[in-house]
């Protein structure tokens, strides 16, 4: 019998009231690797079981004084639930055999007198059954324990992963915050710089900001990287920073009306601008865009007379946005936007890169509509009797016969209001009187 799977000795308990049967059975099992225990009654056998609960096999005679074999086997289930049971019955005692199996939980019955060889075979089989049950139980316990350990490991691992994820997320947030504040500091610095030129040149109020909004929106429609878009945005804010070194009288002039020597000085502002920011390493690319914002697509601009695609894309964008903002300020009126776009169109391929034109109209309209709304004035047609001092004409006032009475932009005061009222009675205006009034 191979009992290698269990390391403890296999115990067998034989119960019979006849000593000679006990002896002969013990002898028969002598050569097997079992420890054979005996008891001469059911009562004594129960005591043996209580001391040896791991007994593998119980072989019990049926006919005994006191507890019968079936009764003893039935009671033995409590102290030794896993033991295999065999009942020994008389040759003709079929009922006892059936009872032994049904009530006593016997695995087999053996009739007396037995065949030695067969009895040994049955005993070995019964022991093997016990061993298998025990092995199975041990395996189940091991699997259960390992499962529990695994579950515990899993939950520990999960906790660990969660903790580390939280830690990483926290560090990421800190880094993001740090980056954000660095970026904000940087942005604020650029804003502060760009505001400097507007302090010098009041006519340029919000010019850099408008150019930046327009340029960034154009850049975003092109296939540019995030860094390139940021460079365009920063360069727009700083594009005229070089004007700080230009005398006030010159700053007040329209570049198109400058004398040649004045144009020479004015033309230095892109290079001065680049020089001013070139010492800041992260603004070096921005400096290059600033340098070229007055180049023309056909090579007619300054300072380097670059042409076509050799002009950095950021500079080509700013060139258009800069022109739009300056022209719209100069024209200033209800047709200003359309007229400006017309002028841009005329310069496509000459001053400006034609492929950018389709990208400018929508963002430009958005920007200047908003600015118009923010000024806090709306245009209204009024009756002459409702005109008041301080109102500003938003359109030329032309008499019914076509004479220009007052120009657009004129501020009204008592005298010209009187004149207007008089002319209105004689020759009523066909165009109406339009003024800008506060909303």
- Rounded to a whole number of angstroms, the minimum distance from the CB of residue 426 to Fe ion is 47
- Rounded to a whole number of angstroms, the minimum distance from the CB of residue 347 to Fe ion is 16
DSSP bridge pairs for 14: 38, 59
Q: Which helix (H) or strand (E) holds 379?
A: strand 377-382
Q: Smaller CB distance to Fe ion: residue 105 or 242? A: 242
- Binding residues among 239-258 for Fe ion as defined by CB under 5 A: 240
- Rounded to a whole number of angstroms, the minimum distance from the CB of residue 319 to Fe ion is 9
Q: Smaller CB distance to Fe ion: residue 89 or 319? A: 319
- Rounded to a whole number of angstroms, the minimum distance from the CB of residue 293 to Fe ion is 6
Q: Smaller CB distance to Fe ion: residue 123 or 251? A: 251
CB 232 within 8 A of CB 315: no
Distance of CA 308 to the CA centre of its chain: 41
| Residues contacting residue 179 through CB under 8 Å, at least 6 positions apart | none
| Residues contacting residue 348 through CB under 8 Å, at least 6 positions apart | 354, 357
Stretch that binds Fe ion, among 232-240, 275-283, 335-343, 348-356 (CB under 5 A): 232-240
Stretch that binds Fe ion, among 18-26, 123-131, 221-229, 236-244 (CB under 5 A): 236-244
Task: Say how far apart CA 71 and CA 74 lie, in whole Å.
Answer: 5
Q: Smaller CB distance to Fe ion: residue 101 or 336? A: 336
Q: Smaller CB distance to Fe ion: residue 61 or 322? A: 322
- Rounded to a whole number of angstroms, the minimum distance from the CB of residue 375 to Fe ion is 21
Q: How far is CA 34 from CA 45, 133, 219, 419, 435, in A?
A: 17, 17, 93, 137, 121
Nearest in space to 75 (alpha carbons), one of 60, 65, 90: 60
Size of the site for Fe ion (CB under 5 A): 2
Q: Smaller CB distance to Fe ion: residue 85 or 326? A: 326
Stretch that binds Fe ion, among 77-85, 99-107, 186-194, 315-323 (CB under 5 A): 315-323
- Rounded to a whole number of angstroms, the minimum distance from the CB of residue 222 to Fe ion is 21
- Binding residues among 318-337 for Fe ion as defined by CB under 5 A: 322
Q: How far is CA 385 from CA 267, 381, 399, 415, 433, in A?
A: 51, 12, 16, 14, 11
- Rounded to a whole number of angstroms, the minimum distance from the CB of residue 416 to Fe ion is 36
Q: Smaller CB distance to Fe ion: residue 240 or 353? A: 240
- Rounded to a whole number of angstroms, the minimum distance from the CB of residue 240 to Fe ion is 4
Q: Smaller CB distance to Fe ion: residue 16 or 322? A: 322
Q: How far is CA 185 from CA 204, 226, 437, in A?
A: 24, 18, 40
Give the DSSP letter of residue 4: T
Q: Smaller CB distance to Fe ion: residue 131 or 306? A: 306
Stretch that binds Fe ion, among 8-16, 145-153, 227-235, 316-324 (CB under 5 A): 316-324
- Rounded to a whole number of angstroms, the minimum distance from the CB of residue 239 to Fe ion is 6
CB 219 within 8 A of CB 314: yes
10 Å Cβ neighbour count for 6? 14
Task: Say how far apart CA 187 and CA 238 lie, in whole Å.
Answer: 11
Stretch that binds Fe ion, among 37-45, 46-54, 235-243, 333-341 (CB under 5 A): 235-243
Stretch that binds Fe ion, among 67-75, 92-100, 108-116, 317-325 (CB under 5 A): 317-325
Q: Please report how many Cα atoms fall inside a 13 Å half-sphere around the Cα of residue 199, on the Cβ side.
A: 9
Q: What binding mask, one character per residue, do residues 270-309 give for Fe ion by CB under 5 A, x or -? A: ----------------------------------------
Distance of CA 136 to the CA centre of its chain: 50
**Is the peptide bond between 360 and the residue preceding it cis, with omega within 30 degrees of 0?**
no
Q: Smaller CB distance to Fe ion: residue 49 or 290? A: 290
Task: Say how far apart CA 165 and CA 48 lie, in whole Å.
Answer: 61
Task: Indicate whether 93 belongs to the interface with Fe ion (CB under 5 A).
Answer: no
Stretch that binds Fe ion, among 62-70, 161-169, 177-185, 233-241 (CB under 5 A): 233-241
DSSP bridge pairs for 379: 436
Q: Provide the 3-class DSSP secondary structure of residue 425.
A: helix
Using CB atoms, what's the residue nearest to Fe ion?
322
Task: Say how far apart CA 343 and CA 335 lie, in whole Å.
Answer: 12
Task: Say how far apart CA 247 and CA 156 lie, in whole Å.
Answer: 73
- Rounded to a whole number of angstroms, the minimum distance from the CB of residue 194 to Fe ion is 11
Q: Smaller CB distance to Fe ion: residue 57 or 324? A: 324
- Rounded to a whole number of angstroms, the minimum distance from the CB of residue 297 to Fe ion is 16
Contacts with Fe ion, residue ranges (CB under 5 A): 240, 322
């Amino acid at each position: 019998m191979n009992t290698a799977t269990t390391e403890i000795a296999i115990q067998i308990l034989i119960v019979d009231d006849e000593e000679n049967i006990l002896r002969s059975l013990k002898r028969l099992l002598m050569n097997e690797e079992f420890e054979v225990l005996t008891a001469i009654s059911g009562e004594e056998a129960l005591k043996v079981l209580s001391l040896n609960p791991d007994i593998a096999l119980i072989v019990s005679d049926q006919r005994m004084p006191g507890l019968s074999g079936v009764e003893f086997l039935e009671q033995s289930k409590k102290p030794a639930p896993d033991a295999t049971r065999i009942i020994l019955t008389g040759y003709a005692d079929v009922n006892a055999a059936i009872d032994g199996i049904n009530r006593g939980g016997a695995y087999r019955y053996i009739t007396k007198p037995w065949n030695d060889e067969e009895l040994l075979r049955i005993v070995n089989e019964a022991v093997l059954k016990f061993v298998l049950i025990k092995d199975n139980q041990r395996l189940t316990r091991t699997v259960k324990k390992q499962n529990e350990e695994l579950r515990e490991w899993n939950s520990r691992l999960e906790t660990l992963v969660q903790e580390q994820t939280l830690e990483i997320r926290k560090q990421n947030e800190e880094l993001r915050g740090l980056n954000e504040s660095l970026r904000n500091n940087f942005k604020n610095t650029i804003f502060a710089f760009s505001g400097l030129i507007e302090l010098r040149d009041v006519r340029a109020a919000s010019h850099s900001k408008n150019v930046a909004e327009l340029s960034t929106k154009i850049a975003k429609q092109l296939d540019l990287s995030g860094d390139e878009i940021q460079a365009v945005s920063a360069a727009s804010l700083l594009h005229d920073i070089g004007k700080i070194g230009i005398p006030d009288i010159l700053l007040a002039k329209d570049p198109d009306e400058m004398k040649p020597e004045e144009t020479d000085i004015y033309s230095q502002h892109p290079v001065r601008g680049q020089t001013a920011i070139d010492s800041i390493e992260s603004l070096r690319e921005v400096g290059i865009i600033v340098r070229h914002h007055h180049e023309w697509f056909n090579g007619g601009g300054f300072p380097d007379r670059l042409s076509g695609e050799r002009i950095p894309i950021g500079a080509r964008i700013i060139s258009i946005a800069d022109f739009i903002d300056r022209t719209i300020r100069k024209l200033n009126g209800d047709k200003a936007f359309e007229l400006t776009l017309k002028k841009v169109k005329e310069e496509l391929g000459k001053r400006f890169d034609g492929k950018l034109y389709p990208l400018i109209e929508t963002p430009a309209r958005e920007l200047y509509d908003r600015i118009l709304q923010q000024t806090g004035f709306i245009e209204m047609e009024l009756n002459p009797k409702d005109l008041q001092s301080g109102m500003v004409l938003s359109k030329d006032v032309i008499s019914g016969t076509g004479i220009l009475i007052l120009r657009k932009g004129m501020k009204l005061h008592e005298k010209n209001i009187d004149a207007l009222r008089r002319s209105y009675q004689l020759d009523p205006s066909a165009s109406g009187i339009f003024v800008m009034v506060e909303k």
